[in-house]
């Protein structure tokens, strides 16, 4: 019998998903909003990983960024303000086979949702979390957020914010069982894509803070950093975020940082002179709570009833 050797044959997947397979409703964010760049990067990650749309879920709370599930042609849950993490954890706990993404904002995550955020870090369930941080409340029209810089003029602080902001990186790195912490920016599509790709590949709670522009309420927030790349420092390491050649050429300031070094990660996260982008910390050996929840997946109703009866018998009088 003649023909091609099996090792020379090209494997063709049964179904190849293109970008259009992940494009949902027409985005209604303001023109030049940084959310557009994040949406495009996420759709490219889904295509690169060939994630089945029917087994992919986007969860959000309330805010401009939380419109995300509407713009993905996947399953989605647009939840209550500050509550995306409990919903995402419930989904992952009972359906560990699904790819779960969380889109949240600096108000949604760091204010009303802060308690859920802290425990979600500790649970370390396998999901990709995107904190879109524009340092202002956009959907409710320009109020000070927990990450607003001191002196920020807003409707709630017309004379300037008087409190120092929360640093989401420091907060996440300070919680027990943190396993993946990274930072990127919406105005560098290549680094944004590479960061989200690495976050999705990580097994555990992948927390990515994305510095994001709000052209309507804080148009000048990152203007200097965008025009001057020397105000950014690129974190590099063989175990870090892969930086393509154009990204490396863009930033003359770089630091070789081992993402296994928690102490150095915290030091870099506190820098205020430059914006550090890259992978701060990664430890795939951390415990994952969703693996505990998967222990009884597939139990028949009768097995579940039997297990409950065993527990009830312990307290029989």
Q: Are 234 and 253 in contact (CB under 8 A)?
A: yes
> 10 Å Cβ neighbour count for 220?
8
At residue 55, does pLDDT exceed 90?
yes
The pLDDT of residue 12: 59
Res. 1 pLDDT band, cuts 50 70 90: very low
pLDDT in tens, 182-213: 999 999 999 999 999 999 999 999 999 999 99
Phi/psi for 207 (5° steps) reads: -105, 115
At residue 90, does pLDDT exceed 50?
yes
Domains assigned to the chain: 26-313 (3.40.50.970)
The pLDDT of residue 11: 63
The pLDDT of residue 308: 87
Point out which residues pair with 130 in neighbouring strands.
103, 208
- Cα–Cα distances in angstroms (integers) from residue 83 to residues 99, 100, 196, 278, 291, in the given order: 19, 15, 22, 27, 22
Averaged pLDDT, 118-133: 98
Query: How many whole angstroms separate alpha carbon 159 and alpha carbon 272?
Result: 23
N-terminal to C-terminal alpha carbon distance within the chain: 76
């863009």: which residue's tokens?
Answer: 250
> 10 Å Cβ neighbour count for 150?
11
| Six-digit token string for 238 | 């063989």
């992952």: which residue's tokens?
Answer: 92
Please provide the average confidence, as pLDDT, over all residues in the chain. 93
Sheet holding 232-236, edge to edge: 75-78, 56-60, 99-105, 127-133, 205-211, 180-185, 275-282, 232-236, 254-256
């999901």: which residue's tokens?
Answer: 127
Phi/psi for 103 (5° steps) reads: -110, 120
Q: Are 252 and 229 in contact (CB under 8 A)?
A: yes
């Amino acid at each position: 019998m003649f023909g091609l050797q099996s090792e020379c044959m090209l494997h063709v997947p049964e179904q190849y998903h293109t970008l259009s397979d992940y494009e949902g409703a027409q985005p209604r964010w303001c023109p030049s909003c940084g959310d557009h760049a994040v949406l495009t990067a996420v759709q490219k990650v889904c295509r690169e990983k060939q994630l089945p749309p029917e087994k992919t879920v986007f969860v959000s709370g309330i805010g401009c960024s939380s419109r995300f599930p509407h713009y993905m042609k996947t399953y989605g849950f647009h939840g209550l303000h500050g509550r995306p993490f409990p919903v995402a954890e419930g989904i992952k706990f009972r359906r560990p086979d699904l790819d779960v993404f969380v889109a949240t904002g600096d108000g949604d995550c760091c204010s009303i949702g802060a308690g859920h955020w802290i425990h979600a870090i500790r649970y370390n369930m396998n999901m990709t979390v995107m904190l879109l941080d524009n340092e202002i409340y956009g959907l409710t029209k320009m109020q000070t957020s927990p990450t607003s810089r001191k002196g920020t003029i807003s409707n709630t602080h017309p004379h300037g914010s008087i409190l120092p902001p929360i640093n989401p990186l420091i907060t996440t790195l300070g919680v027990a069982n943190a396993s993946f912490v990274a930072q990127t920016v919406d105005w560098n599509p290549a680094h944004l894509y590479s960061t989200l790709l690495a976050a999705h590949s990580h097994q555990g709670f992948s927390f990515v803070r994305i510095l994001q522009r709000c052209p309507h309420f804080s148009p000048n927030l990152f203007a200097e950093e965008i025009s001057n790349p020397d105000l950014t420092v690129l974190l590099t390491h063989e175990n870090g975020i892969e930086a393509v050649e154009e990204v490396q050429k863009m930033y003359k300031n770089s630091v070789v940082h081992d993402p296994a070094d928690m102490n150095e990660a915290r030091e870099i996260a506190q820098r205020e002179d430059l914006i550090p982008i890259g992978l701060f910390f990664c430890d795939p050996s951390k415990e994952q709570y969703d693996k505990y929840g998967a222990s009884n997946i597939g139990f028949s109703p009768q097995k579940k009833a039997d297990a409950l009866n065993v527990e009830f018998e312990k307290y029989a009088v």
